[in-house]
Structure formats: C-alpha cells, structure tokens
Amino acid sequence: MWQLQNAVRHYPWGSHTVIPELLGSPSPADRPHAELWMGAHPDEPSVRSDGVPLDKAIAGEPELLLGSEVLERFGVRLPFLMKVLAAEKPVSLQAHPTAEQAEAGFAAEEAAGVPRDDPTRTFRDPFHKPEMLVALTEVEALCGFRPVEESLHCLAKLQVPELKPTIAALARGGLRSVIPQLLALPADQRDVLVSEVARAAAGFVAAHDPEFINTYRWAAALAETYPGDPGVVISLMCNHLRLAPGEAVFLPAGNLHAYLCGAGVEVMASSDNVLRGGLTGKHVDLAALIEVLDFSDGRVPVLRPVLGPGGLRYPVPVEEFDLTHCQLGDQVGTLTTRGPQLVLCTEGTAVLSTAGDELTLPKGTSAFVPAGTPVSARGPAVLYRVTTNLS
C-alpha cells in the first residue's frame, strides 16, 4: 500500500478554507480550493509515495493492483474516483451521460479531431459518471426536477409577465418542452427575463413569505452572480436539497444538478464528462445536454448509511464504487476488500497495517491499497474508504 500525493483543482467557486484546513495548509488560502482529486484518472492522477503516478502503476501491474475480477469487468483502469468537493459559490448546473452516450460522444469528437483540452469539448473520456456526495458540512444543492405542478405554482406565484411563455410551455409540453426553450432564448430576452424573475423572487424573500422562500432566495442570489443566465429560471423547477453532515445524495446519469454551497466527499465512476446547462461562463452544448437530460420529475431521496463491514456503508446501484465511513477507535479493525481501495483520513490519525507494512495517515492524507490485501486499521480517526461494488 502507498500514501498518495493528490492534486487540488482551483475553480472560482471553491472554498478558501475547507480543503486548506483539511490539508493543514494556511487558511484562508489566497485562491479558491474547489476539489481534491484521489484516484487514477489520467487528467489528474494521484502519485504514489514511490513517485509513480497511480494510472501508470496500474498499467504496469494491473492484475496485482486491481485484482482479476476488476480487471475483467473494467479493463486496465481504476473504475472509481474520489474527491473532496468544497463549494463557497454555486457550481454550474450540469448532468452526466450514460455509458452508451459517453462512448458514442467521445468517439464522435475523437473522429472530428476535437482536442481533448478544447474548452468546447463535451466528452473527455468514453465513460459514464454516476456519482454520490456525502456531506461533511451542511450542503445545499439543486437536484433533479421537482414535480411539474409544484413548478407551475412556483413560477406563476412570481407574477412576472415575461414568464408567461415559460409557464405555457411547461403546462403544455412539460419539462422536455420548456428546458430547451429557456436555454435557446436570445441574450436580450434572457437578460430581461432573469432580472425580472430575480426582482420578484427577492420581493417574496423580503416579505418573509415562507412558501418557496429558499427557492426564491437562491434564484435572487444566482441572478447576481450569473445575470442573464437561464439557469436562474431553471433553478425554480429543481428540487432544493439540504444535506446534514453524514447524509448523501446519489446522482444517476441524466440528473440535472448543482451544488450551491457546502463540502463533502464525492465518489464517482472515474470520468470527467460534464454537460453544463447553466450558471456558468463555460461552454454549453445544448444539443448534447438535451439528449442526455432525464426530464422525469419528482423528489430525490436523501441517502443515509447502513451498518456494513468496517463501518457505515452508503449503498448505490452501480458497480464502479462502494463507499464506507469508518469511525476508528484505539482497537484494531479490518478494512480488507476483494477490490482495490482508496482510503482518506478526514479526522485524527489512522494507522494502516498489512503483513509487511505499516502506514500512518494523518488528517488530509490518503492511501491506495491493492486488491485483496489483508489490511487492518486503528485510530482514533475518521476514514472514508471506497472500493468497487461487484457482487
């Protein structure tokens, strides 16, 4: 097993405190720290303590590090990616493709010769990206479309004349009609619509009207950061989720979502395919987004962990990843799994032991454990452990 050196991504929406404090760096930092990546994705692979990038190490010894079961199912690649995500400002509205959509989209852009680092590139790899976020702090998020009848009421209550075409499209053709209409609006119409929606929403917040107050508060705030962005109006039609620490949300392919604020441990299939739909200055591929989006409406469940081997497990319906929250005391516990493991320490100091090795993980550090390696751990510490979910 090896301790890992992990990369931080510095997006404008990131926190100046959460990841620096986790890593023991000066806080507040001089620039935002948005994501801490742990894994073997070729765009940002972790580096083992022997200096070898994890993706290169796996390519050199795939069966030893991944195990035959993972190798047969997923090929020569670590199928999961772990991150710490810390949002001080809202992350863009986005969705992720299915495996089939990702494979087809990636092949098409490769054939067209679109460079993988081109800002207009949509599919950066041929893999899907189901994901789950477990809250470390309170997290607020937009997640999937709320029931259509509720969205109609939320929009109509604002009494904004410019919203009449939106309300009519939603009532007549549902979400599949109204979302493309909003995203395709000319810039001048967008500007007026968003500013009027924000003004009306702020009025209800100022009047302390409790109905939709959190939805309206965020719409007004988002309009300040992203004036003229149709994502502000789309946010009124999304479920607003508030996660307490330890609660989680699972996001399947096609789910339109945005993390508004807060920090969590994010686990996903190892992919960087993001199709943006608003609240962003980056490229929006409208045609690809509409093809990928799941337009079904309804509530999104909050996930709570169940007791499993090694700690509290968050069950998800995918094969690529399985996450466990491990609360370690002074007694030795077992962390052995059939598949490879990434282990992150978020509190205290953990000591991992194998037959011939011992590794100390202070807060903010992580390790890679090869498939099937008998490993035990002691604390006091809090660990997040991700492995595969093959039955």
Catalytic center residues: 276
Give how far the C-alpha of residue 324 lies from the chain's centroid of Cα atoms, to the nearest Å: 17
- Provide the Cα torsion 3, 83, 351, 53; round to 10°: -10
β-sheet bridge partners, residue 352: 359, 377
Cα gap 14→19, rounded to integer Å: 9
Nearest to 361 by CA among 1, 3, 62, 59: 3
Provide the token pair at 114: 């679109």
**Within 10 Å of residue 320's Cβ, how many Cβ atoms?**
26
Are the C-beta atoms of 369 and 352 separated by less than 8 Å?
yes
**If you ran DSSP here, which 8-state letter would residue 162 be given?**
G
Cα gap 373→382, rounded to integer Å: 21
Cα gap 67→292, rounded to integer Å: 33
Provide the token pair at 244: 């307490």
Nearest to 37 by CA among 75, 70, 4, 3: 4
* Termini Cα distance of the chain: 24
Give how far the C-alpha of residue 26 lies from the chain's centroid of Cα atoms, to the nearest Å: 26
Residue 203 phi/psi, 5-degree rounding, is -65, -40
Distances 199 to 90, 170, 193, 211, 217 between C-alpha atoms, Å: 20, 22, 10, 16, 11
Helix count (H) and strand count (E) of the chain? 12, 21
The percent helix, strand, coil of the chain (3-state, each to 5) is 30, 30, 40
Nearest to 100 by CA among 273, 237, 249, 329: 273
Please report where in the chains the tokens 């030795």 appear, as a residue. Answer: 332
